[in-house]
Structure 1
Amino acid sequence: MVYSCRANPGSRRLLLSLLLLAAWEAGSGQLRYSVPEEAKHGTFVGRVAQDLGLELAELVPRLFRVASKGRGDLLEVNLQNGILFVNSRIDREELCGRSAGCSIHLEVIVDRPLQVFHVEVEVRDINDNPPVFPLEEQKLFVYESRMPDSRFPLEGASDADIGANCVLTYRLSSSDYFALDVNSKNDENKLVELVLRKPLDREDASAHNLLLTATDGGKPELTGTVQLLVTVLDVNDNAPTFEQSEYEIKIFENSDNGTTVIRLNASDRDEGVNAAISYSFNSLVSTMVTDQFSVDPNTGEIVVQGNLDFEQVNLYKIRIDATDKGHPPMAGHCTVLVRVLDKNDNAPEIALTSLSLPVREDAQFGTVIALIRVNDLDSGANGQVTCSLTPHVPFKLVSTFRNYYSLVLDSPLDRESVSSYDLVVTARDGGSPSLWATASVSVEVADVNDNAPAFAQPEYTVFVKENNPPGCHIFTVSARDADAQENARVSYSLVERRVGERALSSYVGQGVRLQPLDHEELELLGFQVSARDRGVPPLGSNVTLQVFVLDENDNAPALLAPRAGSTFGAVTEVVSRMVGAGHVVAKVRAVDADSGYNAWLSYELESARRAPWTRRTRRASACCTRLRGSSRALAVLWARRRPCDVNVYLIIAICAVSSLLVLTLLLYTALRCSAPPSEGACGPGKPRLVCSSAVGSWSHSQQRRQRVCSGEGPPKADLMAFSPSLPPCPGSGDVGEQQDLNIDPDLKVSPFIFTNYKVYLWKI
C-alpha cells in the first residue's frame, strides 16, 4: 500500500506562486497574509491596522479585537502597533491534514461604530515531516518457481507534508535478484513494487535482506527506511491473478449495511487444490477499512458493514489478496478504491455573533445589528447555503463574505409603534430535497426623546370664587408623553407674565392660589402651564388656563352724594310746610361694588313716628343697572300729609292709579301682541353668533331681548351664552363689536351664571 501527495506538479507550481502573495482584495473586503508553519512566537505576519486603514490611536477605544473559530490563539494583534504576529505554535498538518490549501480565517472586529473585516492567513508548509513506512520490517514470501519480472507489491511510505515536500522517491539497496519499480497510477495510488530480475534458487539463498529508502522533495531532504525480508519458498509456481490490478467504485454515503460494493474475480492457472482461491484483506489494511467493509472469502464480494460518512472519510483504499490453497499457498493482489459520494444529510448551522442591542429608534439606515455565520458540512450544491430573513422589514441581510452575513437596519424605527422585533433567520442549502435551519433574534428598540408632552385639550376654563384662602387648589392639568423612562417623565411650570401691575407668580403657583383673588379687581386671569420632559434635549408644550373669578357678596352698598358738595351717607333737604302729598322731597342713590344679585339693592326708610313722608323705590333702579362695576339704585322720598288729613284722599288716589295702571298694561299687551315682531319687541329672538369680550369665545345663543324697566334708551340685550372651548373671536375687545351686540359701552359686564358648562353673562 502506498501513500502519495494529491497535488500534481502544475498545481504545486501554482501553489508556490500564491504563497508569495499577501495583498488586499478590494472586491471581497479581505486581507490575505501567509506565514510558514512552525514559525516562532512573535513572527511578523502583517500590519493589519495599517492595511485596514485604521488609526493606531483608535484601536483600544474602539475595542479592536481578533476572533478565530476553532483556531485558539495561534495569531494575535499588538494593539500598540497594529501588527499581526504568531502567538503560539502552528502545525499545518494538525490544522488541515493533507489538504492542498490551509488557511486560518480571522474576524477583525471594531466597535463604535461596529465594523467587521475578514483576514485570511495562509499557512505555508515546511518540510518538517520525514517519510514514514507503516512497519519497520516488511516480510515477503517468494516461491522459487516465480518467473523473472514477477512483481511483489510493497507498502509505500507516507509524508504528512504537501507539495514538493511530500513528493517521494524510492531507492533499493543493491541486489542481484531484485529491482524496484515505482508506478504512479494516479495521485491517490502510487505502486511501489519489488521486481524479480532472475529466477530464485532456495538452495543457493533462502532469504534476501533489502533496505528500501524513501526520500521527500523538501530542502533539506528527509528520508525514511524499511527493512525488506524476502523468504524464498519452494512449491506452487502460479499465483492467482485478478482481471485488473485496480478497481474504482463510487457509492453514496449512508448506504445500507449489506450493500454490495464489488464482486472480485481472480483466476489461477494451476489445477486442483492449487487453483482453489480464497479472498481476504491484505494484512496491512487499516482497521478503518475493516470496520466499514467485509469481504466474502469464497465469492470475493465486498459489502458495506458500517456507516459511510462523506464528511468523515470520502475515499477508502482496500488491498485484497487472492490466495490459492496450494502448498505453499500463493497470492495475487489488487486494489479497490471506494469513493464515497455526498448526500444532503447535514442541515446548515447558524451562528450569531457581535449583537449590538438594543437599537436606538433614531439609528441610521445600514446600522449593523448582528453578524451571522452559516456553515454546511455537505459539499457541492448540498453545501451551498442561502439565508433569508422574516419579517422583511425593517431589517435585511447583507452578504459580506463567503457564508457570512450582516443583519442591518433597512427602514425607520419607531419605538412608540413597535418596541421590539422577533426576527427569524433561515438558512437553506441547495440539496434536493433541501435542508434548513433557523435562528431567532430578538431586537429591542431603545427610546429617544422624540415626543413632546401633550395635554388632553389646548385650553381649560376654570371658575374660582373670590376671597378663597391662599393655597387652595384651583385646577389639575396633566400631560402625557409617549416616550419611555426619563424621556416620559414630565415636570410642570407656569409661564410667567405680567397681570396688570403684578407678576403672574404673585397670584398663583403650580395649581394653587398664592393670594386671595378679588372679583372687583380681576375678573379673568389667563395664563399658561408649561410641561417639559426630562429627555436630552428636553421637549415641551403649553396649555392655556382661563380662570374666571366669581363674585361673592363682600361689598356693602354705599350712598352716593345727591349733589355737589354733599357728604356720603347724609341727605339734607328743606321742605316747605305748604307742600302737598306726593311731593318729591329727595332722591337717594346708592352703589354696590359687587355684581349680579349681589349688587341688587332695596331701600327701607327708618322714619320717626308719624313722619310726614313715605319711600318709593323706582323699579328702574331695582333692576340693578351697573356702571363701572357698581350697582346704582334710586330711592325717591315723597312728602305726605298727616293721616288725619289725607287718609280719604290717599285711598282714592291709590285706587285711581291702580285702575289706570291696569288699563295701561292691558292696552300695551294688546298692542304688542298685534304688532309684527321687531328688534325691540319682547319674546325670543332667532339664534345668532355672539362673542363675549371678557372671554373671547364664539357660541350660538338663543337671546331673549327685553327692555330694561327703567324705560330709558333703546332695548338692551341682557343675556348671552358662550362655550369656552370654541376658538376666540377676532377683535373681541373692540368697542364697536360690543355696540353691535347691543352692549352699552359705558356699562361694565356683570358677573356670570354657569349652567351645563355654559357661561351666562348678565348685563345690567
Structure 2
Amino acid sequence: MELKILVENPLEMHYVVVEITDVNDHSPSFPEREQTFEIAEHTLPGRRFQLHTAQDPDAGINSIRTYTLTSNEHFEVNIRQGDAGKVPFLVLKKSLDREQKDKHTLLVTAVDGGKPPRSGTLNVSIIVLDSNDNRPVFSQEIYQISIQENVPVGTSIFRMNATDPDESSNGEIEYNLGKTLKKKVYEIFELEKLTGEIRVKGIVDYEENEVYELDVEASDKGTPPLTGECRVIIKIKDVNDNPPEIEVTSLSNTVSEDSKPGTVISLLSVKDKDSGVNGKIISHISNDVPFELKPSYKENIFSVVTKGFLDREQVSHYEIIIKATDCGEPPLSTFKTLNIQISDVNDNRPHFEHNPLQFYLVENNLAGASIFSVSATDKDLNDNAAISYHIVREGAQNDIMSFLNVNSDNGHITALKSFDFEVLKKFQFQVVATDSGTPSLSSNVTVNVFILDQNDNAPVILYPVSSNGSAEGEVTDHSLFGLDRYTGQIRTHRSFTETDEAEHKLLILVKDNGNVSLSATATVIVKLVEPKEAFAASDVKSATKVDEEDNVTFYLMITLGSVSVLFIISIIVLIAMQCSKSTDYTSKYLQETNYDGTLCHSIQYRSGDKRYMLVGPRMSIGSTIVPGSHANTLVLPDRRRPSGEVRL
C-alpha cells in the first residue's frame, strides 16, 4: 500500500510504499454452488457457455490461477482474462445426443496459486434438449402377411409398429399409406393413423389380385417432421368361391338326322378362376342324350359329338346339359345347356293308313264331282313331307281309268262320268303318293270301289219275269186265280168247270222295294181251250215271243223244239183221251202226280250273288202275256221273304 508523508521543513511531500505480504488464507468460491445449462442436442461443437466466475480474497499468487473440469467427452473449460480477472467458459467440443444421454453433470474447480493451492467447486448440470433428429423406425423393412380372400369388411389384418427415440411431439408417430400406390389398394385397405392398424374396407378377391404391396410411412410431429418407411406385402389365399365357367366357342345348333356317330356339333372350354384343386375341373354331359363330351389335346377343351344315330321323327329337339364341377371343398358346379335342333332328311315314304282302301259309291253320281279322297301322311318336314298324288294309268286294263282324275295336292278323286250299278259294280285302281324330297320317295295304295245300287229302274215284266218285287192283280173271277206276291206265280184255286168263262183277263202290277217304289203292269189273258188248241196256241205264242227277242237262228231252234214237244204232247193227250171219257176232261187231263194247281211254270237260276226266277204260262193251257211298256230288267240282290198269296 502507498502512504503519503508531508515534511514541513523544508516543506516536502513524500510517498512511501508499504507492501503487505499476503498469506493464502482464502479458498476460491463461486457465487452459486450450481449452474444449469439447457443445450439442444443439435448444437454444433465449439459453442461457448459462460460459467460463474469464482472469487478469491487472496491476492497475488494466492489468487485464482485456473479453472478445471471433470473429464468428459463433450465439454472443456476455456478461460478468458477479463477486467475482473479470469472468466471461465464451458465449450462444447462434441455434439450431444439426447437419445444417448439426456443430462450431463460436470464439476468445475477454481484453483488459486497458493502453496498449497486452494480451490472451490461449481456443480454444472447440462440438460440436453431434444431435437427432431431421429426418424421413426420400423422393426422390419418388409413385412409379409397372408390373408384369405373374402375376408369380412372391417377385419384388422395387421398392426404396424414404428419407434422414434425423440421425445414429445418429435417422437409422436402417425402412419399413412404411400402416395404412389395403385388405386385398388386404397379401395380395399385402410391404415389407422394413430394405431398403425391395417383394416379391410373392400372385397378381397384372389382371382382379381393374388398379392398387394403397401408402402407405409411413419412420420413424427417434429419441425420439420421426419418420416420412416416400410413395405407390407399382403398375399391372398385362395378360397373355392368361384364355380367353373363354361364357354361355348363354336356351336352348330342344327344337326342333320343322317349325321354319323362322332359328328362334332360344338367346341367349348371350361375354366375356373380358383387355383390348385379349387380350379381343377371335371366335366360331363349330365342328361341322357345321344351326345358325348370328348376331351381335346389341350386341357379343359372339349368337343360335343354325336354318339349314336339320330331320328328327327322320334326326337326333333335336344337339350344337352353340360355339367362342370371343380374339386374344391365343398365343390362348386356350373351347368350349360345347348339347344340342338335335328334337321329333316327325306328318309320316310308317304304312308297310307290302310291299304287297300275300300270306297262305296252310289250309282248315278254327278259327273265331274269329287267322289271320295285318298290321303297319305309323311313323317318328314316341309318339302320332304309335301305330297302329290297321281293315278297309275300305265298298264291299266280297265278303261275306267280314263274317267278318273285325282287332285295332286289334296288327293280328291273326281269321276268324269256317272256310274251305273247295272253296268259296273266294282272297279279297282292305284294311286301313288310322292313327296317332294330330293330324291323323292313314294308309295302306292290300291283303291277298290264298289258301286251301290239306287232304285233307278222300274220292274220289267218279261218272259221269264224277275222274281224280285211284289205283284198285285185284278181278275174277273176272284175265286178262280191266286197270285204269289213275291214269286209272281199265278195259281188256280180250283178246277175249271163248264160254267166258267172261256176267257179270263188278269191285270198284273209289279212293284220293287226301293225307297221310292217303282212299278210296272202287265195284262195276262187266260183262255180255256180244248187240249189240241191249247197246244197250238202255246206253240204260236211261244214262237212269236222268241221271234221278237232273238235272231232268226234262235227262233228256228225254238220253233223246231216247240214242234217236237207239241208232237210228243199230242200223242200223250190222245192216249189219255181214249182212256177217259169223263166230261171233266180238262181237270182230269191236268191232274198229274206233281200238279200244284197253277197255270204258270217257273224257272229259277243264279248269276253270281243274284237270284233270278223266270215265270211263264204252262204249255198245256193256252195263255197270252201282254208285257208293259218298260223294256229293262231290274236285277236286285236276293231278298228272301216268306212267300204269300194274294187272292184275286
Q: Return the TM-score normalized by structure 2.
A: 0.49
Identify which of structures 1 and 2 has the higher relative contact order when contacts are C-alpha pairs closer than 8 Å and 6+ apart.
Answer: 2
Q: Return the TM-score normalized by structure 1.
A: 0.42
